[in-house]
Structures are given as C-alpha cells and as structure tokens.
Amino acid sequence: MTTPDVLVRCQNAARTFGRGSAAVVAVHGADCEVHAGDRIAITGPSGSGKSTLLHLMAALERPTTGTVSWPGLPDGPVAAQVGVVFQGPSLVPALDVAENAALPLVLAGVPEDRARRRALESLTLVAAADLATKLPEELSGGQAQRVAVARVLALAPRLVLADEPTGQLDRTTGQHIVDVLLSAADTIGAALVVTTHDPAVADRLAVRWAMHEGRLHAASDPLRRSPAAVSRGDTS
C-alpha cells in the first residue's frame, strides 16, 4: 500500500558486506516506514547496524536483498529530498562556512548567488550566521556540526537523517545540537531520524526504534511518547 506521507519504506531490507566466509551482515531484513513529521531515534551500540540502515534510507547504500523505496517523495534524485548529517567531520577544509553550506546547492545547479543566499538563511536557522567567513579549522566541534546541519537544511529536504550527530561532542554541546535539529526540522517541515547510543538524545524524540546485531526491533510497534512529554524531558 502506498500512502503519500510515507517518505521512506524498507521491506525486508538487508545489507551484507563482503562475500563467502568473510561476509558480514550489517542489517538483517528490516521492515520499517518513516512518515512525514516523524521524530525517530534509532538506538543501539556501536556496530549494531544503525548507520547502515540510515545509509539505506538515504540511498547511499543499496540493499543486498529486499527493497527500499521513497513513495512520498517527488520524482527525482533521492539526494535532493533526503539530507544526511554525518557522524564525523564532513566539511570541506578549503571552503569557508558559507561555501560549505552552499556546496550541495551549487552541485545541484543552483546559481551561486542564490545558493549563497539560501546557505546564509540556513546558517541563521542554526545560529551560525556569524561563522560564515570562517574556515572549518577555526570551528569548535559543536560549531562544525551546526554548519553540517545548515548544509543539509539549505536543500530544504523532506527527510533529515542524522548519524550519531552528538557522538564526538560533550553532553552540553550534544544536547544543543539536538535542539538545533529538532527546531530546524520543525521550521522546514521535515521528518527527522537520528541514530544514537545516548539515551539522553533518544529521549528527545517521540519514537524509539532499537537495533541489536543488525536486527531492527520495535519498528512496527514503536515506543511513542506525547510531544508534551518530549518537550519537558519526561522519560516515564
């Protein structure tokens, strides 16, 4: 069944790396859907398959078996509608902050002046407009991650996928990045999926999925908490 609010659907989607005796199954037959407006945390320890599942949703990896589809997205490249915030450093060292934020638009053929204007708007959304002329080497870890979020937002995607966005940050800075992601997703009307092994991050999102040894659990019956409970940090 196809419904217009299903942004991505995984049906028995699996991903195996390598062949023969060296093969490693990163994701086993995942079944899940992300709907418009969703706020989902995918939890699990390192190596549980969280990042690989996110990459399948972003079309950065192809499933070895099963299917991944994007029924609620307009025809065209998935990359134009799905933005990914990566775990590690992802800014181009030779470009300043504004140029980094504008880069996906320029690569998509948007004229440079319009791309820069949209980049500056997205930097304003994450409170980083004052960093526009700085180089990545001049940024703190939290600042660099805010710029990475802005680069995604400049494309105004329908779906934002953030892979351990707080994994290399201290707790306070990490919570601020979650604030930025939630606020920005609300502003542009995007669904948000965040992978994390940090319960404090997962508690900020309304839906919880869990992964263990490549298997996705509870996607069909997620733990849902009311938006009011999320906003006040109620984990009960």
Q: What is the pLDDT of residues 174-205, one digit of tens each?
A: 888 888 889 888 988 999 999 998 888 999 99
Give the least confident one: 27-41, 78-92, 180-194, 195-209: 78-92
pLDDT, mean over the chain: 85
Confidence of residue 76 (pLDDT cuts 50, 70, 90): low
Strand-strand pairing, 159-163 and 191-196: parallel
136: tokens are 């990545």
Q: What are 126-146's pLDDT values in tens digits?
A: 888 999 999 999 998 889 988
Does 227 score more than 50 pLDDT?
no
Closest CA to 40 of 203, 219, 206: 206
**What pLDDT, on a 0 to 100 scale, did the predictor assign at position 4?**
64
pLDDT-based confidence at residue 230 (cuts at 50, 70, 90): very low
Q: What is the C-alpha separation between 4 and 1, in angstroms, rounded?
A: 10
Reported pTM: 0.84
* 109 token code pair: 């053929």
